[in-house]
Amino acid sequence: MDGRGQGLPETDAPTYPRSSIRSVVSYNNLGANMTQRTERLKAKLFEIDDRVLFLERMEIIKECDEKYKDYTAGLKFGYTLNDLLAQITIVIDDDDLIVGRVPETLPTEAQERWFEANRQYFYVPWFQSSGHLTISWERLLNEGLRGISKRARQQLAPPLFKGAGGIDQITGDDGVSLSRKDFLWGAMLSCDAIETYSQRYAQHAEELAEKTSDPNRRLELLRIAEVCRHVPTNPARTMHEAVQAVWLVDLVLHAVVGSRDFALGRIDQYLYPFYEKDLKEGRITPKGAQELIECLYIKCSEIIGYADQANARKRSLCQDSVQYVVLGGQTKDGNNPLTPFIKGEDATNPLSTIAVKAGYLKLKQPTIKIRYFNGINEEFWLEVCRLVRAGGSVGIYNDDVEIPAFTSVGVELADARNYVHYGCCNANVPGKEGSLMERWHSLPKYLELALNNGMDPLTGQQVGPKTGDITEFQSLDDLLEAFRFQVRHVLEAERASATFIRPEDHSQCSFTLESVFLDDCLENGREWRLGGTKYWHKSQHGCGIATIADSLAAIQKMVFDAPPLSPRMQGEEKELTLAELRDILNANFEGHEPLRQKLLNRCPKYGNDDDYVDSIAVRIGNIFCDEVLRCNEVPHSITFWPEIYTYHHNKGFGTSLGATPDGRKKGENISENQSPSYGMDIKGVTACLKSIAKLPTHRTPGGGTNLKIHPSAVAGETGLKALSNLLKTYFNEGGQHLQLNLLDSQTLKEAQQDPEQYKTLSVRVVGYSAYFVTLSKKVQDDIIERMEHTL
């Protein structure tokens, strides 16, 4: 389905009473076009007590652990899911239009004691999901659970099982056959279980309809019942059914089985055919569609806690789950052979804009990811810029960089054009690969090892290879080669330890629910962790790009006296030897504060559009990409992807790193993501973004950049145009990603002092949003410290 009305199932849509449709779209211009319904539902989110527990799940899991202890993995999972979804309390709240919520209660003292005594049943390894992935929502909507179950059944071959009373134990001709049948039976049982759950919602909605005295609510509940009777059991016929099917399966994955960061993917693509059909047949209006999307967004925030997970978290298996919605971009299939990487057709449609407008809810979740490309629909783009300016939870990625990056790591072009995001700044192919796997690399640490011939000066231990005595280095090239081999040493060890799927592993009985909804797993008869999907990658994140670039630029200037690339460098004299600088760094600049100030303030710094240092950042990026991709030269189950991204690790890596040649002292943070070191981008936002856009991100499928702009800089129509032009220029010059905080530092400081008055103040952290007052003091200070720009 490409978002243009193709691929809808050949089924008749239900006929709803006209009065029911009117009750759904009863609009009052509240907030940013929110309905009275979504205004009330949003308000309820801030009444949630993070101390609540889903105790019913633990009680049933405890029973099933004993009840099915002798069953193979797929059967045990399927029967347990059936018991859960057949027994847990069904909850439909007032104003719900999209239904699905697990029953959570504030525990009594006795229940708290029971929870602590039975904590092992809160998380059990045999009943879990991995999260951090995007299932094939199109398959769910086009085939329904029964279609998916039928697909699984078609892969089975007799004999299926033994035991006169049912499926007591699956047998096969060999281990592989046993594993395959166990997985497929687990898939069918799981589909049946979710169908049961949906039918229970339909029944409960009918019961509530009989009890309510509100005629409009009665019609809504009867409509909900009809929707839940049909989906996700069968293919969706309407937009309401499609959104409901998506949410109920998402809820089961997130909160019943339990894990975090199941992404919703390109909702404007797979929901648009249903919206378009409904619109033509008079079942929905644009405002009605926006209300459905807003209800979906509210559900995404409903299942998580209020507080940020790094500071305090709700006791939920989905934790502080980040749920990504991807809008815009290009279609999978393009028709311009001259520029195949960037010229798929514009995928934006009217629902893309509606989904952006729903973002004015400004909730913690979902996180909206926009796919920009040169030629994007202007009306849609300006709506995105308005939401960014309003403080919506938005990150923007550049198709013109991302699509070539995906193909550079072996992803087919059609799949690359369909990329989504499923982790803070991580991209993947929806429905065609499993969970996020990643390793973080401190690039400044590898430089430190190169300066010390593989020895860690903080511990005195030899942790890297001996890459040469630096007294013999004659140029920056020599040092960069030593750095390269430090990187290679770590990556070779990482490759050697990476999971390799062997033929004999296919005999393992293993099951994850998400595999049922991933392409190829049913056909291959095994879940994604056993190689069931088309792709499987592990991200290798290079951290601290600005710190190492600034450090090497300082070495170039102060030690090697290379031919200057900047006029101000001419006539500079050699200041010290590389060995002398190394010793000063190992002593944390003790007795050398004037030198440290010179390194900080007189050496070129990345983030100022200065090729003297920016070219070094590019070289470092390419060395890292070369070494990561070198690991893929020998075929392996898992492909390594290079990325330039830190998440929160700029703090931890700083703690374990000595002083660096850029003037940074031991223990201080290294630079964040692709951004300059804090306070070093002194020539304005345009120069800052020009430096970032030079990085070789056409080789890195993931990565991120944070930027803080003062709100006054984008005020009014002039400010909106300036923001649009700034972003377009950045992306058209090769920028990969950008997420903005349009808040002044004074407001953030006031929120620190009076958190109660700023409960709903949302900020971008590193690829996700959080309520500012729920973050730890350290993270709050980190955000405040980011350079505040004007345009």
Residue 653 amino acid letter: F
Lowest mean pLDDT segment, chosen from 242-251, 302-311, 541-550, 723-732: 302-311
Q: How confident is the model at residue 312 (pLDDT cuts 50, 70, 90)?
A: low
Mean pLDDT of 234-250: 99
Residue with tokens 């019913």: 56
Res 505: pLDDT: 57
SS (H, E, C) 466-494: CCCCHHHCCCHHHHHHHHHHHHHHHHHHH
Q: How far is CA 654 from the centre of its chain?
A: 24
Q: Can you tell me the distance from the alpha carbon of 584 to that of 554, in angstroms, rounded to the nearest whole number?
A: 14
More confident residue, 5 or 563: 563
Q: How confident is the model at residue 26 (pLDDT cuts 50, 70, 90)?
A: very low
Q: Can you tell me the distance from the alpha carbon of 693 to that of 681, in angstroms, rounded to the nearest whole number?
A: 14
Residue 305 amino acid letter: G
Q: Can you tell me the distance from the alpha carbon of 250 to that of 262, in angstroms, rounded to the nearest whole number?
A: 7
Q: Can you tell me the distance from the alpha carbon of 746 to that of 28, in angstroms, rounded to the nearest whole number?
A: 34
Highest mean pLDDT among 417-426, 624-633, 643-652: 624-633
Distances (CA, A) of 509 to 64, 80, 131: 18, 16, 20
Is the predicted pLDDT of residue 5 greater than 50, yes or no?
no
Res 762: pLDDT: 61
**Residue (of 540, 443, 529, 452) closest to 492 by Cα position:** 540
Res 481: pLDDT: 98
**Which letter does DSSP use for residue 361 in this model?**
G
Is the predicted pLDDT of residue 545 greater than 80, yes or no?
yes
How would DSSP label each residue in 662-723? TSPPTTS----TTSPPTT---S-HHHHHHHHHTS-GGG-S-B--EEEE-GGGG-HHHHHHHH
pLDDT cut 90: percent of the chain above it: 70
Mean pLDDT of 770-781: 74
Specify the 3-state DSSP secondary structure of 265.
Answer: strand
Q: Which two tokens stand for residue 196?
A: 């049961």
Is the predicted pLDDT of residue 246 greater than 50, yes or no?
yes
Res 306: pLDDT: 60
Res 765: pLDDT: 64
Compute φ and ψ for 179, nearest 5 degrees.
Answer: -60, -45
Q: How confident is the model at residue 662 (pLDDT cuts 50, 70, 90)?
A: very high
In angstroms, what is the C-alpha Rg of the chain? 27
pLDDT cut 70: percent of the chain above it: 85
743: Cα within 13 Å, side-chain hemisphere:
25
How would DSSP label each residue in 502-547? -GGGGGS----GGGGGSTTHHHHTS-GGGT-SSB-EEEEEEE-HHH
Res 173: pLDDT: 57
Question: Which residues make Cβ contacts (< 8 Å) with residue 193, sequence separation at least 6?
Answer: 78, 81, 82, 84, 85, 86
Cβ atoms of 680 and 550 closer than 8 Å: yes
Lowest mean pLDDT segment, chosen from 244-258, 534-548, 776-790: 776-790
Q: Which two tokens stand for residue 314?
A: 């709700």
pLDDT in tens, 40-91: 999 998 888 888 999 999 999 999 999 999 999 999 999 999 999 999 999 9
Q: Which two tokens stand for residue 586?
A: 């190992």
Q: Which two tokens stand for residue 597?
A: 């100030």
Cβ atoms of 535 and 411 closer than 8 Å: yes
Query: Cis link prior to 17 (omega < 30° from 0)?
Result: no
What value does the mean pLDDT of the chain take? 87
Q: Which two tokens stand for residue 656?
A: 């374990």
Specify the 3-state DSSP secondary structure of 345.
Answer: strand
Q: How confident is the model at residue 763 (pLDDT cuts 50, 70, 90)?
A: low
Res 574: pLDDT: 62
Distances (CA, A) of 245 to 248, 273, 654: 5, 15, 45
More confident residue, 565 or 368: 368
Q: Can you tell me the distance from the alpha carbon of 757 to that of 750, in angstroms, rounded to the nearest whole number?
A: 9
Res 714: pLDDT: 86
Question: Which residues make Cβ contacts (< 8 Å) with residue 764, sequence separation at least 6?
Answer: 393, 395, 706, 739, 740, 741
**Residue (of 123, 116, 127) closest to 79 by Cα position:** 127
Q: Can you tell me the distance from the alpha carbon of 144 to that of 137, in angstroms, rounded to the nearest whole number?
A: 10
Specify the 3-state DSSP secondary structure of 631.
Answer: coil
pLDDT in tens, 693-706: 999 999 999 999 98
**Residue (of 768, 766, 748) closest to 757 by Cα position:** 748
pTM of the predicted structure, to 2 decimals: 0.88
**Which letter does DSSP use for residue 256 in this model?**
I
Distances (CA, A) of 567 to 564, 572, 679: 7, 10, 23
**Which letter does DSSP use for residue 166 in this model?**
S
Res 117: pLDDT: 97
Q: Can you tell me the distance from the alpha carbon of 445 to that of 547, in angstroms, rounded to the nearest whole number?
A: 10
Res 562: pLDDT: 45
Res 708: pLDDT: 79
Cβ atoms of 327 and 3 closer than 8 Å: no
446: Cα within 13 Å, side-chain hemisphere:
26
Residue 605 amino acid letter: K
Is the predicted pLDDT of residue 643 greater than 60, yes or no?
yes
Mean pLDDT of 568-580: 69
Is the predicted pLDDT of residue 167 greater than 60, yes or no?
no
Residue 45 amino acid letter: L
Determine which helix (DSSP H) or strand (DSSP E) holds 155, and give its type and residue range.
none
Is the predicted pLDDT of residue 311 greater than 50, yes or no?
no
Q: Which two tokens stand for residue 432?
A: 């065609």
Q: How far is CA 592 from the centre of its chain?
A: 43
- So where are the chain's domains? 18-237, 438-503+511-704
Q: Which two tokens stand for residue 606?
A: 């990345």
Q: Which two tokens stand for residue 142?
A: 């086009």
Q: How confident is the model at residue 567 (pLDDT cuts 50, 70, 90)?
A: very low
Res 771: pLDDT: 63
**Which letter does DSSP use for residue 207 in this model?**
H
Is the predicted pLDDT of residue 779 greater than 90, yes or no?
no
Res 498: pLDDT: 77
Q: How confident is the model at residue 635 (pLDDT cuts 50, 70, 90)?
A: confident
Compute φ and ψ for 677, nearest 5 degrees.
Answer: -65, 145
Is the predicted pLDDT of residue 538 greater than 60, yes or no?
yes
Cβ atoms of 701 and 724 closer than 8 Å: no
**Residue (of 145, 147, 368) closest to 245 by Cα position:** 145
Residue 92, phi-psi category: left (phi > 0), alpha (psi -120 to 50), beta (remainder): beta
More confident residue, 469 or 10: 469
Residue with tokens 């330890």: 497
pLDDT in tens, 321-352: 678 999 999 998 865 444 444 567 899 999 99
Residue with tokens 């281990």: 175
pLDDT in tens, 184-206: 999 999 999 999 999 999 999 99
**Which letter does DSSP use for residue 90 in this model?**
P
Q: Which two tokens stand for residue 221?
A: 């509940």
Q: How confident is the model at residue 313 (pLDDT cuts 50, 70, 90)?
A: low
Q: Which two tokens stand for residue 498?
A: 């990476």
Cβ atoms of 223 and 94 closer than 8 Å: no
Which pairing describes strands 438-442 and 394-398: parallel, antiparallel, or unpaired? Answer: unpaired
Res 613: pLDDT: 98
Query: Cis link prior to 232 (omega < 30° from 0)?
Result: yes
How would DSSP label each residue in 556-607? IIIII-PPPSSGGGTTPPP---HHHHHHHHHTTTTT-HHHHHHHHHTS--TT
Q: Can you tell me the distance from the alpha carbon of 285 to that of 290, in angstroms, rounded to the nearest whole number?
A: 9
